[in-house]
Structure 1
Amino acid sequence: MKKLKYQIEIDAPAEKIWDILWNEKTYSQWTYYFSPDSNMVTDWQVGGKTYFTDSSKKNGMVSTIERIEEPKHLIFKHIGELHNGVEDVDSEKVKAWNGSLEAYYLEENNGKTTLKVEVDSNDEFKDMFDNGFNKGLEVIKNLSEN
């Protein structure tokens, strides 16, 4: 697995960007380029459950929060898939990427913030992540600066 890295400078405080990233109303706007109807449901607990799903909330990824310090960083560990509401954490397909990390880092300096994203990925998903994060980070920037 490779670690893919993305970064953008935003003229806004980290707290505002954190809210744009994880607020239910804006989350689907910046993740649109991964899935037009994406949702995130989480208990916000380290070791708890987080689901990245489609609009049915029955299909998507099963993850957990590895580390969180609002508004500085949030690291997810992906542990499985959700199919028709059933969690799969044991199949061979899932084992190929189980344990991969997706990390968000916000570094504020004088009211401006650098948002960095790091994602563990197989080659087959690189283009999807490149497209999704490059476009999605621009949406976060626009929402945060306006």
Structure 2
Amino acid sequence: MERRIQPHQDRVRGLSSASTADAVGGPLIAHCQTAGEKEHNIKTLTYSIRINAPKEAVWKHMLDPSDYRQWTQAFSPNSQFIGKWEQGETILFIDPDLGGTKAVLDEVVPHERLKARHVAMINKDGSEDVSSEMAESWIGATETYIFNGENGQTELLIEMTTHENFEEMFNAGWPRALELLKAVCESS
């Protein structure tokens, strides 16, 4: 079942399911075990937007340090990344005033697909957290960016696999972030 996150903006869609294909059957809840052997409800959240720019340009703007700071303001005012967008690399997604997350880039296919797997939370002081209850529910979350281009346009699909505790945050942040990214890409 498709659920509009922002009904007044047709260009951003949000689904809460295992995948777009599974959406008709409703939310799919999976279970996983953390280091503390606690069972957590995992959800796959999907967001997409059509951008009037070729996928190469969308890739460039999405990952450029300056442009990244613009579109990720939807999540945090001083969002930034530290690291390289290369397969196997570790990257930090942080706001120096708030902390952030550490991820490993499991898949990087330029202009096509990028997948990050979160391995720790970063505290405000810069230290890593892998053992708090929040960190245990966050570790293992993935985000995948899929770039589908045709006729100079790009359909950007974001797929987040995360604990249900983070669903509200992503449902509020991703639609806005995608609109900001669209504006950055289309103004260039």
What's the TM-score, normalizing by structure 1?
A: 0.91
Structure 1: gaps spanning 5 or more residues: none
- Say which of 133, 139, 150 aligns to 1:98: 139
Q: Tell me the distance in 1 between the aligned counterparts of 2:131 and 2:109.
A: 30
Deviations 1:53-101 (A, max 9, x none): 1135x82101110100011111000011112121222444322231111
2:113 aligned with 1:87, yes or no?
no
- With the length of structure 2 as denominator, give the TM-score of the two structures: 0.72
2:58 counterpart of 1:17: yes
The one-letter code matched in structure 2 to 1:11 is N
1:65 maps to: 105
Once the two structures are superposed, the pairs formed by residues 1-146 of structure 1 within 5 Å of their partners are 1-55=42-96, 59-83=99-123, 84-146=125-187
Unaligned 5+ segments in structure 2 are 1-41
Take 1:3 and 1:107, find their aligned partners in 2: how far apart are those partners? 20
Amino acid at match of 1:80: A
User: Would the alpha carbon gap of residues 113 and 96 (structure 1) be closer, same or farther in structure 2, given more than 3 Å must change?
Assistant: same
Task: Read off the aligned partner of 1:107 and give its amino acid letter.
Answer: N
Identity of matched residues, %: 32
How many Å apart are 1:49 and its aligned residue? 1.2
Higher relative contact order (CA 8 A, sep 6+): 1
Q: Could you report, residue by residue, the CA deviation over 1:89-145 in whole angstroms, capped at 9, with x for unpaired residues?
A: 244432223111101000111111100000112222222111211111111111111
Structure with greater Cα Rg: 2
CA distance in 2, matches of 1:115, 1:96: 27
